[in-house]
Amino acid sequence: MPRRLAIAVQGVVQGVGFRPFIYRIALEHRLAGWVRNRTDGVRIEVQGPKPSLDGFLHDLRTKLPPQASIEQLQIEEIVVDPADEFVILSSDAEAAPRPSLPADGNVCADCRAEISTPSEQRFRYPFTNCT
């Protein structure tokens, strides 16, 4: 029997590739639901069998993108929805702002090569990063 979880994540979770990360692990665990940015962090609703949800939560806590960090994680079981896919939704501005900005990180060798190669899409693009 499927279960559905509402997950509120606060910390450095915006501008660091967090939503695509959530999307990937949801698909890996064959879960339905959605993820969206909010002004106070990220909201996730995810649904599937308990073992898949447990695997998703484990990956959420242990396989974060390099610049992401979780300060607070709230998980609540909610009513199951007839959803059958996982999607990234547009940002939502309903919650009170609680900004948490990622620290500047080093640019990796692949990104440096990309901005230095004239045939690359991001040639001389100054904001290239590994998100």
Tens of pLDDT along 55-107?
999 999 999 998 899 999 999 999 998 889 999 998 876 655 555 555 566 67
Q: Where exactly are the structural domains of the chain?
A: 3-88
Q: Which CATH number fits domain 3-88: 3.30.230.70, 3.30.70.100, 3.40.50.300, 3.20.20.150?
A: 3.30.70.100
CA distance 94 to 78: 20
Q: 25 or 131: whose pLDDT is higher?
A: 25
Does this model's pTM top 0.75? no
> Considering only 44-48, 50-54, 89-93, 94-98, which range has the smallest mean pLDDT?
94-98
Q: 59 or 108: whose pLDDT is higher?
A: 59
What was the pLDDT predicted at 53? 98
Closest CA to 48 of 29, 64, 67, 65: 29
> Considering only 15-19, 23-27, 98-102, 104-108, which range has the smallest mean pLDDT?
98-102
CA distance 33 to 76: 14
* Contact yes or no for 82/33 (Cβ under 8 A): no
Provide the mean pLDDT of the chain. 88
